[in-house]
Amino acid sequence: MNPEKPPIPVAILLFIGITAISFSSIFVKWSDAPVSIQAMYRLILTMLFMLPFGIKYISQARKLKGTDILKLMASGMMLAVHFLLWMGSLQWTSVASSTIILALQPVFVMIGAYVFFKERTSVSALSGMGIAFLGVFLLIGKSGMSGTGSHLTGDLMSLFGTGAIAAHMLLGQMLLKRIPSFLYSWFVFVFAALFLAGYNVFSGIPLTGYAAKEWGIFALLAVVPTVFGHLLFNWLMRYSSASTVSMSVLGEPVGASLLAFLLLNESMNGLQAAGGALVLLGLILFLNVRPSKKATAVAPTDLQTESLG
């Protein structure tokens, strides 16, 4: 951990970041634009905000290899798929269910790290993972009992979207060994935006013609959950441990559920609340376990705040 202290206490900055990412699902719900359009302009505007700070990385960008570009493209595509599925899930299920399932991303990353990088984990971490998945089964099981099955569709979309963000992070785990975090994030946003633009054109979704309200929401998605959320978390890695910052993953479903109750009149029933509590308990146990010393790759907790919500 860097002994230097930030200009504002870490606890206050973490609270700002958690609050910021909790607004992501609210903004998505408020918009009438297709989620692929919301995601595309969210990324484009974020790229523009980042551009003035990227001048010092030009020389490093020129040194990128062809294999690096391909991996960046794949990572960007997975990020785009994540946005399509997770943001799309909010049209079918509640903010609480969608964000609680999304909070499982460190577990998905751990599974992928074991499969691809042979990273080992402890029995305690596996226990936490099992408890978290039990909570998800309760959430999805309750959704499956609904008359229309629409909530089940949304929960499954969030689950697959979480798998996509885990793939994005695992690719980042390989790339961040030799590419600065800022450069990695910017190029991934570029390729994700291009993928979403292609998706919109192929699907016949208009790229323009949206009301001023929608452009305001696009800007809010770029500034609030992305700049004051994810990029702030990445910056905080300089001053705090990765595990401390990564615990912010638990704050999003809590904050988003509270905001959805206040702003969208959404609520949870008893079974959903129990499932959500199990997910959060399992994640607390999972994230409090130190990575195995035998792991040679970047720990999943170093990446899991990259693209929440």
Residue 265: φ, ψ to 5°: 60, 30
Picking from 252, 276, 271, 246, the residue whose alpha carbon sits closest to that of residue 107 is 246
Amino acid at 36: S
| Model pLDDT, residue 237 | 64
Confidence category of residue 206, pLDDT binned at 50, 70, 90: very high
Picking from 280, 283, 268, 279, the residue whose alpha carbon sits closest to that of residue 94 is 268
* Predicted confidence (pLDDT) at residue 167 exceeds the cutoff of 50: yes
Return the minimum-mean-pLDDT range out of 4-8, 20-24, 30-34, 92-96. 4-8
Is the Cβ–Cβ distance between 110 and 125 less than 8 Å? yes
Per the prediction, the chain carries an average pLDDT of: 80
| Model pLDDT, residue 287 | 63
* Predicted confidence (pLDDT) at residue 244 exceeds the cutoff of 90: no
Cα angle: 224, vertex 201, 32; to 5 degrees: 45
Domain extents in the chain = 10-302
* Predicted confidence (pLDDT) at residue 58 exceeds the cutoff of 90: no
* Predicted confidence (pLDDT) at residue 298 exceeds the cutoff of 70: no
Confidence category of residue 78, pLDDT binned at 50, 70, 90: very high
What is the C-alpha to C-alpha distance for residues 147 and 95, in angstroms, rounded to an integer? 19
| Residues in Cβ contact with 71 at an 8 Å cutoff, skipping those fewer than 6 apart | 171, 174, 175
Place of tokens 């992070």: 169
What integer is the mean pLDDT of 118-140?
A: 72
The helix-helix angle for 181-203 and 35-50 (nearest 10°) equals 150
Cα angle: 86, vertex 160, 281; to 5 degrees: 85
Confidence category of residue 160, pLDDT binned at 50, 70, 90: very high
Q: Which residue has the higher pLDDT, 16 or 7?
A: 16
What is the C-alpha to C-alpha distance for residues 255 and 76, in angstroms, rounded to an integer? 27
What integer is the mean pLDDT of 201-219?
A: 95
Q: What is the DSSP letter of 17?
A: H
Return the minimum-mean-pLDDT range out of 40-44, 123-127, 182-186. 123-127
Q: What is the DSSP letter of 307?
A: S
pTM: 0.81
What integer is the mean pLDDT of 41-53?
A: 92
- Calculate the dihedral angle through the C-alpha atoms of 158, 95, 20, 278, rounding to the nearest 10 degrees: -80
| Model pLDDT, residue 299 | 41
Residues 257-268: tens digit of each pLDDT: 888 888 888 877
* Predicted confidence (pLDDT) at residue 292 exceeds the cutoff of 70: no
* Predicted confidence (pLDDT) at residue 305 exceeds the cutoff of 80: no
What is the C-alpha to C-alpha distance for residues 99 and 78, in angstroms, rounded to an integer? 18
Number of Cβ within 10 Å of residue 298's Cβ equals 21
Pair of tokens at residue 1: 């951990």
| Residues in Cβ contact with 121 at an 8 Å cutoff, skipping those fewer than 6 apart | 110, 114, 289, 291, 292
Confidence category of residue 240, pLDDT binned at 50, 70, 90: low
